[in-house]
Amino acid sequence: MAITSLSSMVPFAITRRGGFCQRVFLRSTVRNGPHFSLMSRPSFGCFCTTASGAGKSPEGMGQTTEGEQSFKSFAWPDPKKPRICILGGGFGGLYTALRLDSLVWPLDKKPNVLLVDQSDRFVFKPLLYELLSGEVDAWEIAPRFSELLANTSVQFFQDKVKRVSPCDNLRKNGSFGLDSGGTVHLESGVLVEYDWLVVALGAEAKLDTIPGAFEFAIPFGSLDDACKVDNELKKLERRKFGKDSLPIRVAVVGSGYCGVELAATISERLLEKGLVQVINVENTICPNAPAGNREAASKVLTSRNVRFFLGYYVSCVRKASDMFTSLETSRKDASSEQLSEAYILELRPAQKRLQSKSLEADLVLWTVGSKPLVPPSDPCEYSNVFPLNARGQTETDENLRVKGHPRIFAIGDSAALRDSSGRLLPATAQVAFQQADFAGWNLWAAINNRPLLPFRFQNLGEMITLGKYDAAVSPSFLEGLTLEGLVGHTARKLAYLYRLPTDEHRIKVGISWFTKSAIDSIATLQGTLTKVLSN
């Protein structure tokens, strides 16, 4: 009991030699930022190595003088208190951390909270489209975690998850006799021992199913993706500036919310100098959207230079220059130069009475298919991998806990949760918002031995941007009502302003948006007065 009590306060290692275990206590060292201590390589959450492992040094691990493997261990500020590790700083992860910090805790039970993400910025993804239209600045929708967490007790560590070694599945009947819930191994070689874990890593674009998509198509799900698309559009705009040539051709694969919002934003930006081609396997756009949003989007897109290829799927993406011989591609005339920069999309019919087609595009944007990010776990005899569904999402119970792992919660795009009718909830920001609220509360309840709340999703409505001053909003509490145009745009911006992570950031962004709106209004008024006076 004395050893167990001491081990909860001081980082330690266990070394197994000759059939017995010896505890080696090490002094933790303080660095700028997180605390680390040097330890032996662990197994399923307990810090153990065997003599048979001597001489092998995994990547990122050091080597001790006795031939044992070593690594850096994260030292929590107060090891006596519960340790919560949150993987992923998206809507699910960041908002769970903020929720935990806002709750009222007993003095001896307020947990240490560590947020781990591979990026140093949180990205408010629903507003990425406004980057392309110039309506927002990057700092407004992608603030740094250090700024958002400055006035909280939450710690942030920038790193990538390598694997998770849970050991909470060893316990039975709700008994938590072991000292920790498991360990998280990071790419940098840092080891984080936790009592409670939240998996909120989200999902990434899946481009490896179609030949050429990974090489030539650009997804749209991160700040880097948005910046890359913006830079490619600027290159095309400069190249075609003042030239009497073909319009800039942009192919958008997929016509869900993301595809439609991209098509609307880019078509408004390029106007008559661009042609947006939307490809979708179904015969309608936004098939799962409310009727009001779908009709508003269809009306806006058909009024612009947008062409639809519905009922088709892309079978291949390749460079246009690959269709010509080396002699033809060596010509330096304008037409061959233009072709060398283009791509060919091979379309195959998904509906009857349609013929195969080939499309040329200067830019290919991919909005279909996603791969949930679930951390791999050690497949040793004491550790089970997370249960996954057919889509690769982690299966959870109604309390958001991973099935078979009572101390691990999974939320966001990487988790599979069903509504009351048994249907999987969509991977949207609205769902992640609400899951984060429940996850934070259920962690509080579990630590304080209170009953957990089953998650219940409340659909508040859906919103879609259709341009710089155009959007459609269908609130769920007023059936059949859709706010369109400038009214919808204003309602959408105000709703997302309210959803920004912290009060401080919300105030800064609100002032910035109000200033920009005032300047635009004055400029519009001056232009109108100039026209009236000139006439």
CATH H-level, domain 218-323+340-369: superfamily: FAD/NAD(P)-binding domain (3.50.50.60)
Q: Is-contact 83 49, C-beta < 8 A?
A: no
| Residue 277, helix vs strand vs coil | strand
Q: Which pLDDT score, from 0 to 100, does residue 200 have?
A: 95
Q: Which pLDDT score, from 0 to 100, does residue 380 have?
A: 57
pLDDT-derived band at 514 (thresholds 50, 70, 90) equals very high
Residue with tokens 């409340």: 458
Q: Which pLDDT score, from 0 to 100, does residue 414 have?
A: 87
Cα–Cα distance, 255 to 181 (Å, whole number)? 42
In a 13 Å sphere around the CA of 532, the CA atoms on its Cβ side amount to: 6
Indicate the average pLDDT of the chain: 82
Dig out the tokens for 222 from the structure: 């991160």
Dig out the tokens for 95 from the structure: 């908002």
Residue boundaries of the structural domains of the chain: 72-118+159-204+371-448, 218-323+340-369
Lowest mean pLDDT segment, chosen from 36-45, 84-93, 261-270: 36-45
Instruction: Please name the residues in contact with 346: beta carbons below 8 A apart, sequence gap of 6 or more.
Output: 314, 315, 316, 317, 318, 356, 358
Q: Which pLDDT score, from 0 to 100, does residue 116 have?
A: 97
Q: Which pLDDT score, from 0 to 100, does residue 171 have?
A: 55
Q: Which pLDDT score, from 0 to 100, does residue 157 have?
A: 95
Q: Which pLDDT score, from 0 to 100, does residue 31 have?
A: 34
Annotate 385-426 with three-state secondary structure.
CCCECCCCCEEECCCCEECCCCCEEECHHHEECECCCCCECC
Q: Is-contact 333 340, C-beta < 8 A?
A: no
Whole-number CA gyration radius for the chain:
27
Q: Is-contact 316 346, C-beta < 8 A?
A: yes
pLDDT-derived band at 152 (thresholds 50, 70, 90) equals very high
Residue with tokens 């910035």: 512
Dig out the tokens for 211 from the structure: 């030949």
Annotate 230-247 with three-state secondary structure.
HHHHHHHHHHCCCCCCCC
Q: Is-contact 114 84, C-beta < 8 A?
A: yes
pLDDT tens for each residue of 19-62: 333 333 333 333 334 544 444 434 333 333 323 333 333 333 34
Q: 72-118+159-204+371-448 and 218-323+340-369 share one CATH topology? A: yes
pLDDT-derived band at 529 (thresholds 50, 70, 90) equals confident
Residue 338, judged by CB atoms within 10 A of its CB (0-12, 13-18, 19+), counts as middle
Q: Which pLDDT score, from 0 to 100, does residue 181 have?
A: 85
pLDDT tens for each residue of 399-453: 999 998 999 999 999 898 887 777 888 888 999 999 999 999 999 999 999 999 9
Dig out the tokens for 27 from the structure: 């002094």
Q: Which pLDDT score, from 0 to 100, does residue 115 have?
A: 97
What's the CATH code, domain 72-118+159-204+371-448? Answer: 3.50.50.60
pLDDT-derived band at 170 (thresholds 50, 70, 90) equals low
pLDDT tens for each residue of 215-246: 999 999 999 999 999 999 999 999 877 666 78
| Residue 465, helix vs strand vs coil | strand
- What number of helices (H) and strands (E) belong to the chain? 14, 30
| Residue 313, helix vs strand vs coil | strand
Residue 454, judged by CB atoms within 10 A of its CB (0-12, 13-18, 19+), counts as exposed
By DSSP bridging, strand 370-372 and strand 203-205 are antiparallel
pLDDT tens for each residue of 347-371: 999 988 899 999 999 999 999 988 9
65 has a pLDDT exceeding 80: no
Question: Region 158-182: what's the mean pLDDT?
Answer: 73
Q: Which pLDDT score, from 0 to 100, does residue 213 have?
A: 94
Question: Region 367-387: what's the mean pLDDT?
Answer: 74
Q: How far is CA 535 from CA 78, 521, 531, in A?
A: 74, 21, 6
Q: Which pLDDT score, from 0 to 100, does residue 379 have?
A: 58
